[in-house]
Every structure is written in structure tokens, then in C-alpha cells.
């Protein structure tokens, strides 16, 4: 039986065209990491080379920016992962006064314009006289990631059966043991997905980082800084490597999900 209302291949071809449009800039980014460019402007393709891969870490400021981005993303993943999961667990499992207010604040944080959040945090830091830098970036990234983690974990918690935990407690397990041995393994896929989302949001963030970075540079901020001067091929390669890592994780996920279903 064929689902849907439309026959023919028109929509299928259309979908592939849109996907192609979405992928074009990525292909260009990857291609120009292999460009044998002479000057600082990496704008015309002048031949294939692998030399930039050999000189990947030649630009110290860029390398430092990438290291900063990775460190901030890992810290955000861990902190927002834990704090967001706790909120997700509370919202998915318990009915309590204040749950609606918390949900409202989280929804506001998810749908708020990034520039408004960045500007507000910047206002807070200048009012307090707090110097901006690495710690303030982490504070900001954890702030905007918590809600996403909480929503992801809450969705997982709501699908779970509480009888397993009751059984554990009936069998004499302490609250902590029940959590550690029963609840945590059951919600772990949600925690993992939420934490990975936090990592991805953090490593890509530009707007809020731009408002809270002070003199510290992250990968997107560094690229922004050299936009008018010219983007060196190393940027393309780092972008390519981040893309490849993300692709690998996603493909492993999809394959694993298919195995489980099969």
C-alpha cells in the first residue's frame, strides 16, 4: 500500500534537490581545505594539495581558539548534562508545585533570541564588574543548554515504567542504590543524547559567546575575526574534522538503532 496523496517521483526529486542545496556549502568547505592556495585569500581553486593538513596547527591563535572551544564544550556537556538531567528527572517523574513555573522559564530560555540572552548576560557581567573570559563563556553555555538537556531527559523519563524501581525498593535496595542500579541505566540514553546536544550547541555557538567572551577566543569567534582579512585553509580543515566526527557519531547511532530494531 502506498501512503500519501501524491504519486510519481516529483517530490522525491525535489527533496533530493533541497538536500543538495543544504549540503553545497559543506562540500565547498571540505574542498577548499585541499586547495593549493598561494596567498591569504582562499577563494579560487588552484590545485589539490594535502599540505594544509600537515600545517594544521601552524596558526597558534587558531589552535588555541579550537582548544578553547573543545574545553568549553566538554565542560558544558558535563555541567549542563548533570543539572539538566536532574531537572528532566524531576519534571518527568514528580508532580510538584513550581513545575509549571520552571517549565515556563525553560521554554523562555529555549525560545528567547540568542542576542537578547547574550546582551542580558553582558549587562549582568558589566554591572557586577566581573571580567569576561573563559569562565563566563562556560556559565553562558551551561545556561542555554540546561533546558535542552532537561527536555530530552524528561521525554525519556516519561516513557519509563516505575514498577522496576518499586520492585528494587521492595527487595530492600536503598534510595541511592535504586537510583544508581535501576533508574540511571534506564534514563541513560536520554542523558547521553541530552549531553551530546549540549556539546553540539556549545561548540557551534557564536552569538552568546560573542557577548560573554571578553578577550577569550573560540573557534567561531576566531573565524568571525578574520572574515574580512581572509579565511586560511586550516579553518576549512578544522571545520571538516568537526563535521567528520559528528558524522561518525551519528552514523554509529543510526546503525546501532537499526541493529536493535532488527
Partner 1 sequence: MRTLRARLTPYALIFPGGLWLAIFFVVPTLVMLSLSLQSGNVVDGFAFTWNWHSYVDGVTTYHDQIIRSLLYGLAATVIQILIGFPVAYWIAFKGGNNKSVYLFLVLLPFLVSFVLRTISWQFLLSDNGILLGPLRDAGLLPQDFRVLATPYAVIGGLSYNFLPFMILPMYVALERIDPRLLEAAQDLYASRFHTFLRVVLPLSLPGVFAGVLMTFVPASSDYVNSSVLGGTNTTMIGNVIQNQFLVNQDYPVASALSFTLMALLLIGIFAYARALGTEDVLEVAAR
CB of 130 to partner 1, least distance (A): 12
Shortest Å, Cβ 67 to partner 1: 15
CA distance 80 to 148: 9
Min separation Cβ 137 and partner 1, Å:
12
What cell was used for 77?
556537556
Per-residue buried b or exposed e for 97-120, using 16+ beta carbons within 10 Å of the residue's own CB: eeeeeebeebeebeeeeeeebbee
Q: Compare residues 146 and 191 and give the one whose CB is closer to partner 1.
A: 146
CA torsion 110→115→120→121, rounded to 10°?
80
Residue among 72 and 117 whose Cβ is closer to partner 1:
117
Question: Of 56 and 90, which CB lies nearer to partner 1 in the complex structure?
Answer: 90
Short-list 9, 243, 218, CA closest to 134: 218
Pick the closer one to partner 1 by CB: 50 or 99. Answer: 99
Distances (CA, A) of 76 to 67, 108, 228, 255: 14, 20, 30, 27
Which three cell numbers mark 67? 582548544
* Residue 38: CB minimum distance to partner 1, A: 17
Residue 261 C-beta: closest distance to partner 1, Å: 9
Place of cell 540511571: 184
- Cα(210)–Cα(132) distance, rounded to whole angstroms? 11
Provide, rounded to whole angstroms, the least separation between the CB of residue 259 and partner 1: 13
The rounded distance, in Å, linking the Cα atoms of 102 and 90 is 11
Q: Which is nearer to partner 1, 104 or 184 (CB)?
A: 104
Q: Which residue, 167 or 252, has its beta carbon nearer to partner 1?
A: 252
Amino acid at each position: 500500500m502506498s501512503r500519501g496523496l501524491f504519486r510519481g517521483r516529483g517530490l522525491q526529486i525535489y527533496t533530493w534537490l533541497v538536500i543538495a542545496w543544504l549540503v553545497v556549502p559543506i562540500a565547498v568547505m571540505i574542498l577548499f581545505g585541499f586547495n593549493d592556495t598561494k596567498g591569504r585569500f582562499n577563494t579560487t581553486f588552484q590545485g589539490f594539495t594535502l599540505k594544509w593538513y600537515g600545517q594544521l596547527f601552524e596558526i597558534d591563535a587558531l589552535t588555541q581558539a579550537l582548544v578553547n572551544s573543545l574545553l568549553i564544550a566538554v565542560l558544558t556537556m558535563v555541567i549542563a548534562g548533570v543539572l539538566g538531567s536532574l531537572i528532566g528527572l524531576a519534571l518527568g517523574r514528580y508532580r510538584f508545585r513550581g513545575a509549571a513555573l520552571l517549565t515556563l522559564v525553560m521554554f523562555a530560555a529555549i525560545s528567547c533570541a540568542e542576542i537578547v540572552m547574550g546582551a542580558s548576560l553582558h549587562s549582568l557581567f558589566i554591572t557586577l564588574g566581573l571580567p569576561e573570559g573563559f569562565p563566563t563563556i562556560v556559565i553562558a553555555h551551561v545556561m542555554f543548554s540546561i533546558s535542552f538537556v532537561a527536555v530530552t531527559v524528561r521525554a525519556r523519563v516519561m516513557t519509563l515504567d516505575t514498577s522496576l524501581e518499586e520492585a528494587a525498593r521492595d527487595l530492600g535496595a536503598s534510595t541511592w542504590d535504586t537510583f544508581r542500579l535501576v533508574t540511571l541505566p534506564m534514563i541513560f540514553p536520554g542523558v547521553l543524547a541530552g549531553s551530546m546536544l549540549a556539546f553540539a550547541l556549545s561548540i557551534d555557538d557564536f552569538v552568546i559567546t560573542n557577548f560573554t567572551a571578553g578577550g577569550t577566543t573560540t573557534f567561531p569567534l576566531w573565524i568571525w575575526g578574520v572574515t574580512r582579512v581572509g579565511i586560511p585553509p586550516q579553518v576549512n580543515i578544522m571545520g571538516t574534522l568537526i563535521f567528520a566526527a559528528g558524522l561518525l557519531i551519528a552514523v554509529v547511532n543510526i546503525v546501532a538503532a537499526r541493529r536493535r530494531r532488527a
